[in-house]
Amino acid sequence: MADVLVCVKRVPDFSGEVLLSDDAQSADARYVGHTLSNHDLCAVETAVQLAAATGGSATVLTVGSADAVEQLRTALGVGCAAAVLVEADPVTLGPADVAREVAAVVADHEASRGASYDLVLLGNDAADSGDFQVGIRLARLLDRPVVTGVQTVTLDGDRATLVSDVAEGRETYRVPTPAVVTVLEGGVEPRYPTITGRMKAKKIPVEERALSAEPVGSGRVRLRVPAPQSSTSTLLGEGPEAAPAVVDLLQQLGVAR
Amino acid sequence: MATVPSTANVVVIGAGIVGNSLVHHLTRLGWKDVVQLDKGALPNPGGSTGHASNFIFPVDHSREITDLTMDSVRQYQEMGVFTQSGGFEVARTEERMEELRRRMSSAKAWGIDSELVTPAQVVEKVPFLDPDQIIGAFWTPTVGVVDSLRAGTIMREQALATGELTVVAGAEVEDLVVEDGEHGRRIRSVVTDQGTIEASYVVIAAGVWSPKLGDMAGVRIALTPAVHQMISVGPCPQLAETDGEISFPIIRDMDTFCYERQHGADMEVGSYAHRPILHEPEEIPSIEQARLSPTEMPFTEDDFDQQLEEALELMPELLGAEGAEIRYAINGLLSLTADGNPILGESEVKGLWVSAAVWIKEGPGVGRAVAEWMTHGHSEIDLHHSDIARFHPHETTREHVRARTSEAFNKTYGIVHPGEQWGSDREVRYSPMADSQKALGAVFHETVGWERPFWYDSNADLLETYGDRVMPREHEWDSRWWSPIINAEHLAMREHAGVVDLTAFSIFDITGPGALASVQRTCVAQCDVAVGKVVYTPVLDAKGGFLSDLTVMRLGEDRFRVVTGGAHGMADRKHFTDRLVDGAELADVTEEVSTIGIWGPKAREVLASLSSDDLSDGGFGFLTSREIDVKGVDAPVLASRISYVGDLGWELYVPFSAAASLWDALLTAGREHGVRPVGIGVYGTTGRLEKGYRAFGAELDAERTIVETGMQRPKVKAADFLGREAYLAQREAAPAAVLCTLTVDDHTSASGVKRYMLGGEPILTTDGQLLTDGHGHHSYVTSAGSAPSLGKHVLLAFLPPEEATIGNRLAVSYMEELYPVTVGSVDATPLLDPDNERLR
C-alpha cells in the first residue's frame, strides 16, 4: 500500500505562442489559459496508477495562487484522493521556497498521519520558469534519495524501480523508499477526467495552508522568449501521388505500422 | 496560392460558412472578378465555423430564421453534407411542455413536420436517456448534422470553377478605405498585409472579427463574440458500436439549456446555461497566439460543473460509462446580437456590405439571400429582421450589445413570451412628457430604446366602468405583459377620446428642389399633391414586396415630411436616403419633433377648446395637415388629420421643448369630456385591429404584396416608383393569398379555461387540416388582439383565396387545442365601422 504525494504547478498552456507579462517575471496566459504541463500530468497519472495498484492513495499538492485549485481539481478528477494548496503569489517564489514548503507539508502530514509518503513525485521541470531544482532541493531537505527524468515507476515493497528511455538507451534505477522522483513525460498516458470523476473532485475539500516562511525568491532578473527556431518544411508531394511518401513518414514517426 | 490582386469588383472578407456561401452565390448570379480573403489557412481558417457543433433544428418561432434555415438545409443536402438524425427537445417541467405545445404552432405555421411524444417514445430512439427525468418531448424527424467545413470547401470550389473567384488565404485586412461622396461615404479599397485592393463592393463576412473590420470603415457592427461551452465525452461504448458520425437523434435538454449530440464514439455536451462570457473582438488571440484556434478559447471548468451533473442525470449510463472521458473541452466563440438576429445588408457606407452573426444553420441560406440582395436589390426571403439598417445609434454601442446579449444568452433555450420586455439597458429614450406619464402610473414597454406607456395604472378605475367588456384573460401566459386596462382605455377612447404619446415615431424631412422626385420614386402613392395633403403609402422593393408603409405630408412645394414607426425607422431612413436625387436632402428630426395623438368622438371638441383654428370637417379635412395654435403651447403645432385607431382626431407634431405643455393642455381640457391618456396597447393593437389596419413586420413584409393585403387603390400613379412594374403585374393576376380578418367564436379550452391567442398560431380547417396558399405557405396569425368594441378577439391571417370568404368557418390551433374562428373580412374593410363614419 503506497501513499504518494504528487506536486504540480499551474502554468500557462504553451501549445500556443508564449507571451510574457509586462514585467517579464512570468508568462501570460491570457489567450491560452492555464493547465498542468505534460510532465506534471504524467506525474499525476503515475501517482494514481501506483495508488490503485497498491491499494494506497495519491495526494496532490501545489504551491501557488488560489486559482491553482483548478489544477488540483484536475488531479482530483483523475483519481487523486486529497489535495493541498499552499497559497502564495508564485512570482515571489523561487525553487528553494517551493522545496521548503513541500518539505513542510511532508513533515506535517507525517506527524498527523503517523506515516510518511512513500514517494513524492514532481514534474521534471516547470513549464514556465524552467528551474529544474525543486525535486533535488526537496530530496536534500527530506534526506531522501532522488532520481530525475524518470518515465515509469514501479514499487515492490520498500523499493522503487525507476526507468527512463534516454538517447543512449534505457536507464534503470532501484532506490529504497521513501524517495523523491521527478517525472518526464512519455512513460505513461495521462487519462482525461470522467464526468463522475470531475463531479467527485468538486466535493473533495482542499487543505489550504499559508507559507511556512518568508520567501527568499528566485533571484530572477527577467524572462526572455527565445527567438523562434527556424523550421524547414518539406513538401511530400501533391495529390494522390504523395500518398506513399506520407505513409513512409507516418511509419518513420511510429504513428502507423 | 494566389496573391492579393490590385483590383476587384467585390472583395469578400472571410472564408467561414458565410463567406464561402457568398462567393458561391455571387458567382452563380453572374458576379465577375470576386476576391475572397481570409487571414487564416483553408479549409479551416480558425473562426467559429471550425468548431461548430454543426447540428440543425429547423423550428424557430421566427419565420425569417426558419426560412433561412430550411433553405440552408436544402443546400447542405444538395452538397451531400447533411445527415438526418432527428432530434428531440425534451421537457423536464410542465411549463416547458406548454412551450413545446407553442413550438408545435410554429412548426405547423412554417410547415415543418414535428410532433409531441412521450418519454417512452424518446427512449425507443435514444435508449440511454433516462425517461424518469422528462415528461415529454418535441420530435422533429428532419433535424440533422452537417459538415460545414466541407460545405464551405465545396461552395468555394464551385465559385473557383466559374473562373471569377480569386482566393487569398493568409492575407490579413489592415484597413478599409472609405471616400466621401455627394450622398454619403463609399467603400474604395481594402488594405491587406500583402497589398491593397481597389474594390467597388466589399462584404464583411468575418464572424466574430466583423466589428473590428467594421470599425476600420467607421461602421458599427453590433455583435459580440460570446462563449458557448462544449465538451466531448468518450469513447462511450453505446456509441462506439455505431457506424458513421451520428446514429442517434440529437437531444436538446431544454430546461437545463444543454444539448447532447453524438459525434462518432463521443457525446458532445454543449451549454447555454453558463454565465454569459463575452469577449471584445480585439481580445481574440491571433492564430499564432491561440492554443487550438483563435475561437477555441481555454475551457473554464467551473462554469460547466452544473451542466455536467444535469447531463449525467439525463444519460447516466452513457456519460458515466467506464472509460468515457472528457477528451475535448472548449469555450467556443460565436457571435451574438442584441436581438438574436443576424446582421445583413449594405451599411451606411455605400458598397460596404455586412453578413455577420450567422450560425451554421442559416449560413448557406444567408449567403444566397445576401447575394440576391446585392444583385437585385431584394432577396426571395424577407430579411428585414436581419437588416443592418435596423439599428438605432444607441443599439450599435458595445455597451448596449453587451447588456442585451448578457441578458439574452441564457434565453437561447429559454421560454420567451412574445411580449417579453428587456430588463437591461432600459430608460434610454423618454418622450418629453415622461414625468407626467410616470405620475399617471404608466407601464412602460420599450421600442428601439423609447420607453412607451403601454397602459396607465391611473386608468384602473375604468375596469369598473366597463366590467366584462374589458375581456379579462384568466390564463397567466395570455395575460403576461398585458393588462385589461388596455381594453378599458380603448373603450374610453371610443366613448370619449384618448391622448396617445407617439414620440417614438421616426420622422425625416426631405427638402430641396429634388424633394418631390425623391419621394415620388420611393412611394407607391401619388405624392405630387397639394401642399397640406397627407398621403398614406406603401414603399416597395423591385419585386413588389413591402419595404414599409408610412405617411408622407407635403409641407411645402419642396418640403415633405415622412413619418414612420420607430421600430423600422432606421431602415426606412435608408430606403429614402438611397433614393434621394440630386438637389434633395434628408434630415432626421426624430429627436426634435414629438408627436401626440388625440382620437375619439370628443377629440374635435377638446382640441377646438384650445385653438382658434377651424377644426371642422369642412375646415380641416381628413388626410390634410397644417399648423395650428394651441392655447398654452409656446410653439406652432403641426396638426395632421389621420387615424390609425379608426376615430376622429389628429396627430400633433410639436418641438420637444413644447411637447409636455401640449400633452398637459390636452389632458386638462379633455378631463371634463372623459378624455384619458391611452397607451400603445390601444394604438398598436386594439384600435388598429378593430379597423383591420395592417402593420409592417406583422402583416406587411417583403414577401407580401399590396394586392394580397387588400390595399390596392383604383389607380396607379403614372410617375415611376420602385416596384411599379411588379405591382402592375400583381394587379393583373389573381392573388396567391388573401389577408383576412377573423374572429374567435369560442375561447373555452378543454380544461374550461378561456384562452386568448397572441399571434403566430396556425389557422386550420375545423378538423385540423393545414391550409396552404398559392405560395405554398401555411396560414398563420400575423396579429392577434382584443377588439373590445366588438367584444371579440380578432386575428389577422393570410388565407388561401378559396378560403377567403366572409362567414367561412375555420379553426385556430393554440397550445395544441383547436378553437373555432370565422372569417369576418376578406380585404381591408374594417369589422368596426366599415363606412368609416367615426372618422368624420
Model confidence over B187-218: pLDDT tens digits?
A: 999 999 999 999 999 999 999 999 999 999 99
Burial of A157 (0-12, 13-18, 19+ CB in 10 A): exposed
**Chain A, nearest residue to B291 by Cα:** A16
Find which of A195, A199, A203, A206 to mutate to test the B interface (most B CBs within 10 Å of its CB). A195
CATH for B540: 3.30.70.1400
Range of B792's domain?
Answer: 734-840
Q: How far is residue B22's CA from residue B330's CA, in Å, rounded to a whole number?
A: 28
Angle at B710 between CA B709 and CA B712, to 5 degrees: 110
Q: How far is residue B270's CA from residue B262's CA, in Å, rounded to a whole number?
A: 11
Burial of B802 (0-12, 13-18, 19+ CB in 10 A): exposed
Task: Report CA-CA distances (Å) from B395 to B216, B469, B472, B626.
Answer: 19, 39, 35, 34
Find which of A11, A31, A225, A235 to mutate to test the B interface (most B CBs within 10 Å of its CB). A31
| Same-domain status, B303 and B172 | no
Distance from CA of B312 to the nearest CA of A (A): 8
| Same-domain status, B154 and B130 | no
CATH number attached to the domain at A3-231: 3.40.50.620
| Same-domain status, B515 and B565 | yes
| Same-domain status, B238 and B330 | yes
| Same-domain status, B513 and B607 | no
**Residues 6+ away with beta carbon under 8 Å from A205:** none
Tally C-beta pairs within 8 A across A and B: 68
Count the helices and strands in chain B (H runs, E runs): 22, 39
**Chain B, nearest residue to A202 by Cα:** B305
CATH for B129: 3.30.9.10
| Same-domain status, B691 and B797 | no
Residue A17 — very low, low, confident or very high, per pLDDT cuts 50/70/90? confident
Mark which of B556, B588, B620 sits at the end of a domain.
B588
**Residues 6+ away with beta carbon under 8 Å from B393:** none
Q: Where are the alpha helices (DSSP H) in B777-836?
A: none
| Same-domain status, B243 and B327 | yes
Yes or no, beta carbons of A70 and B301 under 8 Å apart: yes
B682 belongs to a structural domain:
yes
Yes or no, beta carbons of B299 and A194 under 8 Å apart: no
ipTM of this complex > 0.90?
A: no
Distance from CA of A13 to the nearest CA of B (A): 7
Is the CB of residue B287 less than 8 Å away from at least one CB of chain A?
A: no
**Chain A, nearest residue to B285 by Cα:** A31
pLDDT for position B1: 55
In chain B, how many domains are there?
A: 5
| Same-domain status, B201 and B255 | no
Yes or no, beta carbons of A193 and B325 under 8 Å apart: yes
Residue A254 — very low, low, confident or very high, per pLDDT cuts 50/70/90? confident
| Same-domain status, B486 and B555 | no
Chain B residue numbers with beta carbons less than 8 Å from the beta carbon of A195 are: 233, 308, 311-312, 319-320, 324, 326
What percent of chain B is predicted at pLDDT more than 90? 96
Computed over every residue of chain B, the mean pLDDT equals 96
| Same-domain status, B343 and B324 | no
Phi first, then psi, for residue B125 (nearest 5°) are: -95, -25
Residues in chain A: 257
Residue from the list A34, A193, A202 with its beta carbon closest to the beta carbon of B326: A193
- The cell for A185 is 513525460
Yes or no, beta carbons of B298 and A32 under 8 Å apart: yes
Is the CB of residue A13 less than 8 Å away from at least one CB of chain B?
A: yes
Active site residues of B: 228, 259, 549
* Enclosing H/E stretch for B337: strand B325-337
For residues B270 and B258, the answer to whether their CB atoms sit within 8 Å is yes
Closest by Cα among B102, B80, B92, B68 to B158:
B80
| Same-domain status, B287 and B386 | no
Mark which of B530, B559, B588 sits at the end of a domain.
B588
Residue-wise pLDDT for A89-124, tens only, equals: 999 999 999 999 999 999 999 999 889 999 999 999
Q: How far is residue B760's CA from residue B746's CA, in Å, rounded to a whole number?
A: 18
For residues B135 and B93, the answer to whether their CB atoms sit within 8 Å is yes
| Same-domain status, B112 and B233 | yes
Computed over every residue of chain A, the mean pLDDT equals 93
What percent of chain A is predicted at pLDDT more than 70? 100
For residues B703 and B382, the answer to whether their CB atoms sit within 8 Å is yes
**Residues 6+ away with beta carbon under 8 Å from A133:** A95, A96, A99
**Chain A, nearest residue to B309 by Cα:** A199
Is the CB of residue A17 less than 8 Å away from at least one CB of chain B?
A: yes
B91 belongs to a structural domain:
yes
Task: Report CA-CA distances (Å) from B129 to B19, B133, B316, B386, B421.
Answer: 38, 8, 8, 37, 35
Residue-wise pLDDT for B55-81, tens only, equals: 999 999 999 999 999 999 999 999 999
**Residues 6+ away with beta carbon under 8 Å from B293:** B40, B44, B46, B47, B50, B51, B287
For residues B260 and B230, the answer to whether their CB atoms sit within 8 Å is no
Omega before B43 within 30 of 0, i.e. cis: yes
Is the CB of residue A10 less than 8 Å away from at least one CB of chain B?
A: no
B431 belongs to a structural domain:
yes
Task: Report CA-CA distances (Å) from B154 to B20, B80, B361, B372.
Answer: 9, 10, 17, 20
Q: Which residue has the cell 498516458?
A: A189
Yes or no, beta carbons of A19 and B289 under 8 Å apart: yes
pLDDT less than 50: residues of chain B:
none
Residue from the list A33, A196, A199 with its beta carbon closest to the beta carbon of B291: A33
Residue from the list B283, B289, B309 with its beta carbon closest to the beta carbon of A17: B289
Residue from the list B285, B290, B320 with its beta carbon closest to the beta carbon of A195: B320
Chain A residue numbers with beta carbons less than 8 Å from the beta carbon of B308 are: 195, 198-199
Is the CB of residue B1 less than 8 Å away from at least one CB of chain A?
A: no
Residue A19 — very low, low, confident or very high, per pLDDT cuts 50/70/90? confident
Domain boundaries along the sequence of chain A: 3-231
Mark which of B676, B698, B720 sits at the end of a domain.
B698
Q: How far is residue B564's CA from residue B569's CA, in Å, rounded to a whole number?
A: 6
CATH for B436: 3.30.1360.120
